[in-house]
Amino acid sequence: MEKVITANGLTKKFGDFAAVDHITFDVNKGEIFGFLGANGAGKTTAMRMLCGLLMPSSGQATVAGFDVYKQNELIKKNIGYMSQKFSLYEDLTLGENIRFYGGIYGLTDKQIDEKSYLLLHQLNMEHQEKILVKELPLGWKQKLAFSIAIVHDPAIVFLDEPTGGVDPVARREFWNLIYEASARGITIFVTTHYMDEAEYCNRVSVMVDGRIDALDSPLNLMKAHNAASMDEVFLQLARKAVRTDN
Partner 1 sequence: MKAITVENIVKTYRIKKGVVEALNDISFSVDRGEIFGIIGPDGAGKTSLFRVLTTLLRADSGTATIDGFDVIKGYKQIRNRVGYMPGRFSLYQDLSVQENLEFFAAIFDTTIAQNYDLIKEIYQQIEPFKARKAGQLSGGMKQKLALCCALIHKPSVLFLDEPTTGVDAVSRKEFWEMLHRLKIQGITILVSTAYMDEASLCDKVALMQKGRLLSVNTTQGIIAQFKKTIWAIKATEMFRLMNELKNSEAIESCYPFGQYHHVVFKPAANNSELLKNIAVRGHFTQFEMKQIEPGIEDCFMELMQA
Which residues are near partner 1 by CB under 8 A?
37-40, 84, 135, 137-139, 161, 164-170, 172, 175-176, 179, 183, 193-200, 218-219, 229-231, 234-235, 238-239, 241, 244-246
Is 14 buried (19+), middle (13-18) or exposed (0-12) by CB count in 10 A? Answer: exposed
d(CA 221, CA 233): 7
Nearer to partner 1, 47 or 79 (CB): 47
Residue with smaller CB distance to partner 1, 2 or 180: 180
> Dihedral, CA atoms, 122, 127, 132, 134, nearest 10 degrees?
-40
Closest separation in Å from C-beta 40 to partner 1:
5
Q: What is the nearest approach in angstroms of partner 1 to the Cβ of residue 62?
A: 28
Phi, psi of 77 (to 5 degrees): -70, -25
DSSP per position, 125-193: -TT-TTSBGGGS-HHHHHHHHHHHHTTT--SEEEEESTTTT--HHHHHHHHHHHHHHHHTT-EEEEE-S
20 vs 64, beta carbon nearer partner 1: 20
Of 39 and 122, nearer to partner 1 (C-beta) is 39
Give the 3-state secondary structure of residue 88: coil
User: Cβ closer to partner 1: 1 or 228?
Assistant: 228
CB of 170 vs partner 1, minimal distance in Å: 7
Closer by beta carbon to partner 1, 142 or else 147: 142
Least distance (Å) between residue 138 CB and partner 1: 4
**1 and 207 in contact (C-beta within 8 Å)?**
no
103 vs 168, which CB is nearer to partner 1?
A: 168
- Distance of closest approach, residue 102 Cβ to partner 1, in angstroms: 27
Where are any strands of DSSP class E within the chain? 3-14, 17-28, 32-37, 58-63, 66-67, 79-83, 156-160, 187-191, 203-208, 211-216
CB of 91 to partner 1, least distance (A): 12
CB of 125 to partner 1, least distance (A): 17
CA-nearest of 173, 199, 175 to 188 is: 175
Side chain identity at 246, as an amino acid letter?
N
